[in-house]
Structure formats: structure tokens, C-alpha cells
């Protein structure tokens, strides 16, 4: 087999700025040891997120020029609507400015006190929107998905028995919706199998509960199905995507991921009553139903991105380049969530820094060191993000201590990734010298964005 190459050539480039290690030590200190507070210009390779960071194609940029900016009934809306329908087959397609806007609309209508929503794992904005509306969000991830070091093809699957037990206990009338997040971002970018989607749908159908997809990375999920699930090897990606959506009654989507754009999203559904309510709320918070918080040009770029995302050469390159980084650092002994996920590599900070206790944030320590060593920006997904103190001030750690290296789509080449691996391995080799951190300032909510730290 020959090297899998980037399936594009580069027409427009953006320089990246080099800094010295001494400069980075100072920059990090000034940022309170929180990479969210670093100016992007001081970052060499930015792996903070794969959201909204994609490089658009020349056809997408052409779409930007073609965008019809009419307030109502823009041509660009109809192109967008057709592109989303082709994949989802849903009747009502509602554009939004990003994923959480769709979530806000959907869950403020369906949620409220006494309501429960279940998922394989809710992403934090989804959980926040459910809780903000007064309802409860419950994660029912399969057992193997909770063990970073165990390999399985579909670690994003929902636990079907747990779902049945949950419905029994809570009562179907109190569960307005079940959500499958594909791929499972918070659980390591791990895919959900078609069989699992089918089984979840079957349980939902028996109980008259609608099933929605949180579809952010639907094409990456479809590629994993093609490669790992019996019966899909010869199916085109588009057909696999269509089958995934065929079991769902609707979807929320952040187009900033698998629609290859910098802003955008949708809410798709088949229930006419619910669609009417959603559109009414959309008009108050986002905009008229044919633009929903976006410009006509954004709708064009999404429509074009949806054609490009189901290209198998693209997906092969995409999934392989993430796996390539995972394999390289694994071979040097760096502990990660296995197998590598679709959009990111997640370093297991608990095993990387066993001498740093959770209350000294081992993930944050690695994040800081990757920046100082190589100018690489990553994000802690552990006790900084999810840890808390109980009423008596006792520290409660997160379930896992992770560092996410999210790979922007079509942005970095293989040599960038080789460089990232070298930096990770360098830091790993002198891991005994790394120290923990403590928090010197934190906001009352979502503290990870603005917290300030000091080395222990
Ligand atoms: N659902 C999932 C699974 C996500 O990963 C995200 C965003 C959202 C919903 C919300 O979408 O940002 O457009 O409002 N994830 C980004 C990340 C922020 O870095 O993982 P949004």
C-alpha cells in the first residue's frame, strides 16, 4: 500500500509565526497558564479544536461569492436545504448559526423540570442547554467506552440494556428525546455502529420516543462503519450516511465540523408541530427561517461542504491522518485513548503523569508543556473542565484526565503532524520532571475558559 496523501493541493497559504521557547515561557505565564488566553498569533500549531477551523475549498470560496443575501427565500437557502435533505431525508430543515443554537431551540421547547434526556454521551453545550431548560441529561455509554486502554471498534455505542432500564425507571412520558452523538466527542471521538443506531431506534420506537442524532461528525462516523462493520465495505459513504439518518427522527448539527465551514448549523426534523414551534423560536433568537442567523454565503459554503465531506478519498485521508498521529506517539509509549478516534487524539494524562494527582490537574500540566516545548495548543478535558468541589470544599475529580489534540480539517500536512508527534514524545521522555498546577482564579461557570493557574 502506498502513502495516503492529502487529497488536495494548496492554493492559498497562511503563514504561521515562530516563537522561541523563552518567549513561550513568558507568553504562557502572562496567560495564567491557560492556553485559551493565548493570542492565536503566538501559537505555531493549533489543535485546540476541529470546530470552525477547517480550510474551505476553492468551490466553497466560489460559493461565498455566489451567496444570495435576500432576507427571505434566498436561492442559497434552497441549495442548503436540498443538500441537507439529501443526507438526512428530513422534511423540515432549519438553519442556525451553530450547533448550540439548534440545541437551545430544541431543548427549550422539549425540556423543562421533570424531563429527562438520554444519550451515549452528551457534549457539554448540549448538556448545558438541557440543564439550562431545567431538565436532566443522562449519559448511557457502553462499558468498553469508559476504558481508555481497551480497544473495540465502536466505543461510542449506547448501552442498550441501560437505555431499557432507564426508560422503565423514568417512564417514557418523561423522556421527550433520545440523542446519539456521532462520533462521540467527549468519549474520545469514538464511532457508533449502524447496528447500535438500529437497536436504539427499535427501543425508542417501542416506547414512542423520538431519536435524534447530534450529527456533528456524521461522515467520520460513516467512514468507521464502512471500515469496521460487516456488510458496509462496498457501500458508498453517502448511502451509509443516509442509512444512519434514516433511523433518526431529526438531527442537531454543527456545520463547523463535518460541513467543512467556519460557521453554521442546522436543526432537522419530521414532526410538523415541533418544526413550527422551532421556527417560531428561531425567528426570535436567530433569524428568518430561510437564513437562521447565517448569511446566504454561509449557506452556500455549507451546501458545497456537504458534497465534499462524503468523498471517500477525503475521509480516508482524514481518518488516517488522525490515526497516524495516534500510532506514532503510541509506539513511543505515550498512553492515549485506543483506538484513535476520528477528529482527535486524546492523551490519557492519568497514565502519562501518574505522579501528579487529579487535584493538581495532570492534563493542564501536559497542555502547558506542549505549548512551551513546541508552540502547540491543545485542551485539557479532565478535572479543570469537569472537576468540582462539594459543599464541604472536598475535591471531586472528573471521570478521566485527558488532553485533546483536535485536528482541524484540511489545514495541516503530514510534516506538521510529524512535528506534533516529536514534541509530544519529547515531553513524554521527561515526564517525571513535570509538575502539577493549582487554580488561582476561577469563574463560577465553565471555569476552564478563563481560569488562571500557578505551577505547584
Ligand atoms: N455537539 C458536539 C458533539 C460537539 O462536538 C459540539 C462542538 C457541539 C455539539 C456544539 O456545536 O460549537 O457549533 O455550538 N464542539 C466543539 C469542540 C466546540 O471543540 O469539540 P457548536
- What is the tens place of the pLDDT at every residue in 268-318? 999 999 999 999 999 999 999 999 999 999 999 999 999 999 999 999 999
Q: Is domain 21-50+311-455 annotated with CATH 3.90.1150.10?
A: yes
**CATH fold group of domain 58-308:** 3.40.640
Please indicate whether residue 63, judged by its CB atom, sits closer than 6 Å to ligand 1: no
Give tens-digit pLDDT for 186-239: 889 999 999 999 999 999 999 999 999 999 999 999 999 999 999 999 999 999
Is the CB of 104 inside a 6 Å radius of any atom of ligand 1? no
Kindly give the distance from the C-alpha atom of residue 261 to the centroid of ligand 1, in angstroms, as a whole number: 13
Q: What is the pLDDT of residue 422?
A: 98
Indicate the domain borders of the chain: 21-50+311-455, 58-308
Continuous segment of H or E residues that includes residue 348: strand 344-348
**What is d(CA 177, CA 206) in angstroms, rounded to the nearest whole number?**
13
Q: Taking residues 356-366, what's their average pLDDT?
A: 97
266 φ, ψ to 5°? -155, 165
Burial 77-104 (b: 16+ CB within 10 A, else e): bebbbebbeebbebebbbbbbbbbbbbb
The confidence score (pLDDT) of residue 216 equals: 98
Full-model pTM: 0.96
Instruction: Average the pLDDT over 247-260 and give the result.
Output: 98
Q: What is the mean pLDDT of the chain?
A: 97
Using DSSP bridges, classify how beta strands 344-348 and 402-406 pair: parallel, antiparallel or unpaired: antiparallel
What pLDDT, on a 0 to 100 scale, did the predictor assign at position 444?
Answer: 82
User: Ligand 1 in contact with 46 (CB < 6 A)?
Assistant: no
Task: Please indicate whether residue 254, judged by its CB atom, sits closer than 6 Å to ligand 1.
Answer: yes
Distance (angstroms) between ligand 1 centre and the Cα of 259 equals 13
Residue 129 CB–ligand 1 contact under 6 Å: no
| Residue with CA closest to ligand 1 atom 8 | 99
- Per-residue model confidence as pLDDT tens digits over 381-425: 999 998 888 888 899 999 899 999 999 999 999 999 999 999 999
Q: What is the pLDDT of residue 445?
A: 75
Residue 258 CA to ligand 1 centre (angstroms): 11
Amino acid at each position: 500500500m502506498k502513502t495516503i496523501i492529502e487529497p488536495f493541493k494548496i492554493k492559498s497559504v497562511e503563514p504561521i509565526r515562530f516563537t522561541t521557547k523563552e518567549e513561550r515561557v513568558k507568553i504562557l505565564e502572562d496567560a495564567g497558564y491557560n492556553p485559551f488566553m493565548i493570542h492565536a498569533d503566538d501559537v505555531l500549531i493549533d489543535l485546540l479544536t476541529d470546530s470552525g477551523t477547517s480550510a474551505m475549498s476553492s468551490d466553497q470560496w466560489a460559493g461565498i461569492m455566489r451567496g444570495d443575501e435576500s432576507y427571505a427565500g434566498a436561492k442559497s437557502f434552497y441549495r442548503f436545504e436540498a443538500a441537507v435533505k439529501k443526507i438526512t431525508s428530513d422534511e423540515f430543515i432549519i438553519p442556525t448559526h451553530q450547533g448550540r443554537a439548534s440545541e437551545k431551540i430544541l431543548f427549550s421547547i422539549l425540556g423543562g423540570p421533570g424531563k429527562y434526556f438520554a444519550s451515549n454521551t452528551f457534549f457539554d453545550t448540549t448538556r448545558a442547554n438541557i440543564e439550562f431548560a431545567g431538565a436532566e441529561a443522562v449519559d448511557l455509554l457502553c462499558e468498553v467506552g469508559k476504558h481508555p486502554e481497551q480497544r473495540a471498534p465502536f466505543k461510542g455505542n449506547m448501552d442498550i440494556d441501560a437505555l431499557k432500564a432507564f426508560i422503565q425507571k423514568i417512564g417514557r412520558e418523561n423522556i421527550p428525546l433520545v440523542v446519539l452523538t456521532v462520533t462521540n466527542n467527549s468519549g474520545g471521538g469514538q464511532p457508533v455502529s449502524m447496528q447500535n443506531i438500529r437497536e436504539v431506534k427499535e427501543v425508542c420506537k417501542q416506547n414512542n420516543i423520538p431519536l435524534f442524532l447530534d450529527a456533528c461528525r456524521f461522515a467520520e462516523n460513516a467512514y468507521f462503519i464502512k471500515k469496521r462493520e460487516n456488510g458496509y465495505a462496498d457501500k458508498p459513504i453517502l448511502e451509509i450516511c443516509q442509512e444512519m439518518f434514516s433511523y433518526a427522527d431529526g438531527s442537531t448539527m454543527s456545520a463547523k465540523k463535518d460541513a467543512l465551514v467556519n460557521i453554521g448549523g442546522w436543526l432537522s426534523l419530521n414532526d410538523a408541530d415541533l418544526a413550527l414551534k422551532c421556527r417560531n423560536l428561531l425567528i426570535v433568537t436567530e433569524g428568518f427561517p430561510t437564513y437562521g442567523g447565517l448569511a446566504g454565503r454561509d449557506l452556500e459554503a455549507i451546501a458545497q461542504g456537504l458534497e465534499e465531506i462524503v468523498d471517500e478519498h477525503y475521509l480516508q485521508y482524514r481518518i488516517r491522518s488522525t490515526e497516524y498521529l495516534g500510532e506514532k506517539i503510541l509506539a513511543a509509549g505515550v498512553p492515549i485513548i485506543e483506538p484513535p478516534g476520528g477528529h482527535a487524539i486524546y492523551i490519557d494524562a492519568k497514565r502519562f503523569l501518574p505522579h501528579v494527582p487529579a487535584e493538581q490537574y495532570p492534563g493542564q500540566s501536559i497542555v502547558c508543556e506542549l505549548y512551551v516545548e513546541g508552540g502547540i495548543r491543545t485542551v485539557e478535558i479532565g478535572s479543570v473542565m469537569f472537576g468540582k468541589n462539594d459543599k464541604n470544599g472536598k475535591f471531586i475529580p472528573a471521570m478521566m484526565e485527558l488532553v485533546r489534540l483536535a485536528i482541524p480539517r484540511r489545514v495541516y500536512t503530514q510534516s506538521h503532524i510529524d512535528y506534533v508527534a516529536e514534541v509530544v514524545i519529547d515531553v513524554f521522555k521527561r515526564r517525571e520532571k513535570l509538575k502539577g498546577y493549582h487554580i488561582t482564579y476561577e469563574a463560577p461557570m465553565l471555569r476552564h475558559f478563563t481560569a488562571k493557574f500557578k505551577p505547584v
